[in-house]
Amino acid sequence: MQHKYATLKMTQIHRNEGQPREHFNEAELTELAESLKEYGLLQPIVVRKKEGASGYELVAGERRYRANKMAGNITIEAKILLPETDETITDLDSFKRAMTENITRADMTPLEEARGFKKVLDQEDGATAQSVAKNFKKSVQYVNQRLALLDLRPELAQAVNDGHIGTSAAVQVAALNKDSQKNLFDKWKKGDFNGSDNALIHVAYAMRKQEKAQQESMVEVEEVSDEEKATQSKARAKTRTDLDRIEEICGLLVEIGKMDGAELFRHLEGEVGARLEQMERVSEAVQKARWALRQAKAHADASELVVSPTAQAPDLAEAARAHEANVNGPEDSEQADDEAAPNAVAEQAHLDTEHADSETDSDAPDREPALASA
């Protein structure tokens, strides 16, 4: 895009009210302001002339603009964008340039990125997750995961913005219905996950599976036969018995652990190598069993938190929209449908996220997320 450079008065520049970035670290701004006082501005801000407005609108460089103001400077170096033809630079063009700079510099929070991607999808003709990903040099999976965050409850979104909950965990939580999200967030606030995103991911994933199972059971209910009930009861009894026997084995291992190495050598002369290999197999089996039990614990926690779709609190805002549509007639009802369409994009984001998870795990297509090492 054509441009020219100029020194502008700070009073000539107006902030872009549609600026995609909302959060600025005051300490970092103060540090930058001190740097500007000593070294000056190393990179000009980017502005444009806006039709019907005096002065210039800020396109990129909000952080530099704020720091320059804090430093007490009355002028600033600027790169002024010039339209290629007689057409003006649109608000969306300006927004996309601001998004590009902030994403490249990793200055935006995940929710700011999500809202930015959503705005482009809503306002640019023919925009798709694929085109947005290409515009901002991101993968489609990255864009879809950010879009999924828009389904978070406000309090959870704030925790993500504040850096208390990581993006990967937030994407799993966002896939839950709003009431399940609230229950999970309340448990997280109590410190039940010890600040671990990994534990949060696993419980959220388990809750999502249970929500899906409940939805499927609402569609088709199959009665369990007496034979199947007997088989399930037998399997439960066997699992508990097997786990009880582990305590016996644990006692044997404790006794072996107390033995002196030289004594073990005398007792196992000629078999030490084979017995060590045996112990390695036992250790591997213990790791796998512990993994399975941790997954079971996640499902146990999830069963206490998940809210059945039939038991969810009514969405009062949605009810109000539906009532208004009925009162105002079919024309307004069609508009309501158009407003609801973005929700389909968010739902696709959840599906793409789950698909991406399965693609990266070649061992099992529906395997649960991996736990970090204990």
Each domain of the chain, given as residue ranges in start order, spans 3-108
Average pLDDT over residues 300-328: 60
Please identify which of the residues 57, 62, 113, 368 carries the catalytic annotation: 62
Q: Note the pLDDT tens digit of each residue in 210-265.
A: 888 887 766 555 677 888 889 989 999 999 988 888 888 888 999 999 999 999 99
pLDDT number for residue 151: 94
Mean pLDDT on 97-120: 81
Whether residue 95 is predicted with pLDDT greater than 90 in this model: the reply is: no
62 flagged as catalytic: yes
More confident residue, 126 or 308: 126
Contact 180, 211 (CB under 8 A): yes
The pLDDT of residue 43? 85
CATH of 3-108, one of 3.90.1530.10, 3.40.50.880, 3.30.70.330, 3.30.70.270: 3.90.1530.10
* pLDDT at residue 283, as a whole number: 93
Residue 310 has a pLDDT of 58
Q: pLDDT band at 278, cuts 50/70/90?
A: very high
Give the pLDDT of residue 94. Answer: 76
Residue 337: the pLDDT is 38
- Average pLDDT in the 141-162 region? 93
Q: What's the confidence (pLDDT) of residue 87?
A: 59
Flag whether pLDDT at 103 surpasses 50.
yes
Q: Which of 275, 250, 249, 248 is nearest to 261 (CA)?
A: 275
Position with higher pLDDT, 274 vs 103: 274
**What is the reported pLDDT for 1?**
62
Statement: residue 345 has pLDDT above 50: no
| Confidence label for 271 from pLDDT (cuts 50, 70 and 90) | very high
**pLDDT tops 50 at residue 195:** yes
Mean pLDDT of 41-63: 82
